[in-house]
Structure 1
Amino acid sequence: MSGPRLYTEEEATHQAYDIFLELAPNNLSDKDVEDFNEYREELGFIEEGEPDDQWQDFVALEIEPEHFIQVLVGLEFETDDVLFAKILISRDKDAPFCHILWKETA
């Protein structure tokens, strides 16, 4: 029996970013959306990596590092980075899953 069919990290990252773009207007302040749209070409970052331990506080499933990646979306300013979303996305083509922790709005 073969294992799960997995998206590449790059494919999963693209999916996470598309989901971010679709949901951002409903989950971020208007100013955050404006800032991101204005500066993303120049200062935007998307980083993918292994999911960190924080996810166990938010999702009730076992996070197998080879089946999930964590994607960070934000802007990198000289003085400070702004993280708009921290995304946990499944790489398993047969078990889609995505959870987003959005930037706190003050």
Structure 2
Amino acid sequence: MSGPRLYTEEEATHQAYDIFLELAPSNLNEQDVETFNQYREELGFIEEGEPDEQWQDFVALEVEADHFLQVLVGLEFENDDVLFAKILISRDKDAPFCHILWKETE
């Protein structure tokens, strides 16, 4: 028996970004959505990496580093980065899962 069928990090990152774009208008305030859309071409960033420890406080499952990817979506301004979403996405093709921590609204 072979192991789980995994998306590549690049595929999972694309999926996470697509989910972010789809859900952002419902989860961010209007100003944040406008700011992101205005600056994403030149200042936008998407960083993927190993999930950090914080996820265990939010999800009731074992976050295995090789089965999950953490994706950060934001804007990189000269004086300050703005993080709009921190996404935990499963790389397992047979066990889809995605959880997003959205930017707090002021």
Provide the residue aligned with 1:102 in structure 2: 102
Using the aligned pairs only, state the percent identity.
Answer: 88
* CA distance in 2: counterparts of 1:49 and 1:94, whole angstroms: 21
Counting only pairs closer than 5 Å after superposition, residues 8-47 of structure 1 correspond to structure 2 as 8-47=8-47
Over the aligned positions, Cα root-mean-square deviation in angstroms equals 0.2
SS in 2 for 1:45: strand
Letter in structure 2 aligned against 1:53: E
Q: Any gaps of 5 or more consecutive residues in structure 1?
A: none
SS in 1 for 2:25: helix
* CA distance in 2: counterparts of 1:20 and 1:39, whole angstroms: 16
Question: Is residue 58 from structure 1 mapped to residue 58 from structure 2 by the alignment?
Answer: yes
Give 1:41 deviation, angstroms. Answer: 0.3
Q: Any gaps of 5 or more consecutive residues in structure 2?
A: none
Letter in structure 1 aligned against 2:105: T
State the TM-score, normalized to the length of structure 1.
Answer: 1.00
* CA distance in 1: counterparts of 2:39 and 2:48, whole angstroms: 20
Provide the residue aligned with 2:82 in structure 1: 82
* CA distance in 1: counterparts of 2:49 and 2:65, whole angstroms: 9
State the TM-score, normalized to the length of structure 2.
Answer: 1.00
Give 1:52 deviation, angstroms. Answer: 0.1
Count how many residue pairs are aligned between Structure 1 and Structure 2: 106
